[in-house]
Amino acid sequence: MFTKNYTQQIVRYFLLFLMLVSFETKAQLDSIGDFKIALNGYLETYYLYDFANPSNHLRPGFYVSHHRHNEFNLNMGIMRFSAENKKVKTAFALMTGTYVNTNLALETGVLKNIYEANVSLKLHSKRHLWLQMGIFNSHIGFESAIGADCFTLTRSIAGDNSPYYESGARLNYKSKNTKWDWSFLLLNGWQRIQRLNYNTMPSLGTQITYTATTLTFNSSNYFGNEGTDAFPIWRYFHNLYMIKKIGAKNTLIVGLDAGFQNNPIKSTSIYWYTPQLVYRYNLSKKFDIAARLEHYYDKDAAIITPLIKAEFKMIGASINLDYKIMDNVLFRLEFKQLNNSDPIFTSQQAKLTRYNSSIASAFTVKF
């Protein structure tokens, strides 16, 4: 449930929201000089029940989104202010929620409450060539931390265990026909705002996206040191996905993540991979149904380390129903089933089991 500090935090953000609204009203709602400005927000509340009924109210540790059991809670609340003209774009957004407490636990102070803070400068007057610096959304994966932008209520294991956000610089170019989009990134690390003192090496990233009328194809890469300057652990990660619209009612997503890194103990490299399929069908103007099938293979614990000595070879499946109450208001239901090769979950009888089941509901609002 909401603690006193948590409630105070929400109140502070609400007061900031009122201040921004007042500021925007004085600025004639849509412009400051030649800058076009915008203020918007997002809220996602949820209730999730894990059939293992964990006494600490926490879902398995490899989840960072919707991870509280048997509680009505806030997964994500965002307030975003942006301004742009022909040469400069800037955005600043604050966030709070259970997602923030878990996914940004290693960030210090107020940094864990920053969803976005960046400035972009256009480098060519006639070309779409921009340089962006600051904190921005990750270039990896088709899932966002904002649930309403995803086909499924909860995130995949792959989504929760790869970067949602990044800090650094991004050089972006888009072709004249807008079908091709290229980015080169210099980053502080694998989902890091502040670089650790013992690791001063920047990380690299690339992204290529092709977008047509019914097809989106994306290839993203990451290369960086996940160890120290003295004992580097070099990680290479590749994210590949395709989004295909089939007719007027069907959309299919095919994704594959794969990575490897050198083992600091052994001379060989360790690796992990995770394919997934997501399918959504539009039942009517108000209803959508979606299903996901995923496999996460990480037997050497490169990314996910089970609480007991066991291999992580997970198969997950989920199905959810969305009801569009209004264009910007969504109610969602989901059932999820997980099955690991080794018993790593704790059952209600305090015994280890290979299976985990959950149901979840959520309200999302964009404003």
Task: Using only the alpha carbons of the chain, give its radius of gyration.
Answer: 21
The percent of residues above 70 in pLDDT, for the chain, comes to 90
Predicted local confidence at residue 13, as pLDDT: 53
Q: What is the mean pLDDT of the chain?
A: 91
Whether the per-residue pLDDT at 226 is higher than 90: the answer is yes
User: pLDDT confidence of 184, banded at 50, 70, 90?
Assistant: very high
Least confident of 55-59, 252-256, 347-351: 347-351
Predicted local confidence at residue 2, as pLDDT: 44
CB-CB contact of 208 with 182 (8 Å)? yes
In eight-state DSSP terms, residue 141 is -
Kindly report the CATH number assigned to the domain that includes residue 237.
Answer: 2.40.160.10
Full residue range of the structural domain in which residue 41 is found: 4-366
pLDDT digits (tens, 9 = 90+) for 7-23: 455 445 544 544 444 44
Return the residue matching tokens 């290529």.
Answer: 208
Predicted local confidence at residue 29, as pLDDT: 47
pLDDT digits (tens, 9 = 90+) for 134-151: 999 999 999 999 999 999
Whether the per-residue pLDDT at 116 is higher than 60: the answer is yes
Average pLDDT score over residue span 265-290:
93
pLDDT digits (tens, 9 = 90+) for 70-93: 999 999 999 999 999 999 999 999
Tokens matching residue 78: 């965002």
pTM of the entire structure? 0.88
Average pLDDT score over residue span 32-45:
90
Per the structure, the count of domains in the chain is 1
What is the distance in angstroms between the CA of the first residue and the CA of the last residue of the chain? Answer: 25
Dist. CA 81–CA 281, nearest whole Å: 33
The closest alpha carbon to 58, from 67, 66, 47, 49, belongs to 67
Predicted local confidence at residue 110, as pLDDT: 86
109 three-state secondary structure:
helix
DSSP E strands: which ranges in 247-354? 250-262, 269-282, 287-298, 312-326, 329-340, 345-346, 352-353
Predicted local confidence at residue 263, as pLDDT: 79
Whether the per-residue pLDDT at 335 is higher than 90: the answer is yes
Average pLDDT score over residue span 118-132:
95
Predicted local confidence at residue 162, as pLDDT: 97
In eight-state DSSP terms, residue 195 is P
